[in-house]
Amino acid sequence: MLKKLFGTSPVEAWVIKQVDDGLLHLCGQGTLESRDKRKAVLAALAQGQFQGAVRLAGGGLVLNARLFAALVPLDDLTLTDDGQAHWQGRLWRVSQVPQRCWSFEGRLVAQQGVNVGGLGLVSVEDVSGIRRRVDPDTAQPPGEVIFRADNELEDHPLVAEPRDERRPARPASRREWRDDNERL
């Protein structure tokens, strides 16, 4: 109650990783961590100028706000049951961003996949630029690879055959000492 009285209660927001044409890459909900008053944080959000930490729900991971395209107060974005969102007077498709992509600083692409609500769009890292730079001649495997058991290439069997030669028995009462100066 004191936090609400003094205006320092945390601000909860939707965390949007990337905004494409008609598509939001949504990380989920998070709490904005700031020493500023709630009213100042909401004003910074409205102007798109919030700087600080974002504690993401579900794992307690704290990331810098600069990693995200938008932070939207919970009341300003509404999710529908069919995987869409109402935001800024528009209807957007939503792609869920998995935790591994929250700190990714490159471009994301949406693919059909399985997410929390069932089938829907899931965001993944865009690696098309890397694929274009790969030389197709060097990308082919060098030849046929054959997997064998560890000892298959060995010349000798695992268990040695018994030899006819027997070592001379050592006398039990006599100790032998090694002479390090002696050459073998």
| 127-152 pLDDT, tens digit each | 888 777 776 666 666 677 777 776 66
| pLDDT tens digits for range 19-61 | 999 999 999 999 999 888 989 999 999 898 899 999 998 777 8
* Under 8 Å between Cβ of 17 and 68: yes
Provide the β-strand partners of residue 111: 122
On the question of pLDDT at 157 being above 60, the answer is no
Strand partners, 16: 26, 70
The C-alpha atoms of residue 107 and residue 94 are separated, in whole angstroms, by 16
Backbone phi, psi, residue 130, to 5°: -70, -40
**Could you please report the per-residue DSSP string of 14-59?**
EEEEEEETTEEEEEEEEEEE-SS-HHHHHHHHHHT---SEEEETTT
Contact between 122 and 111 (Cβ < 8 Å) = yes
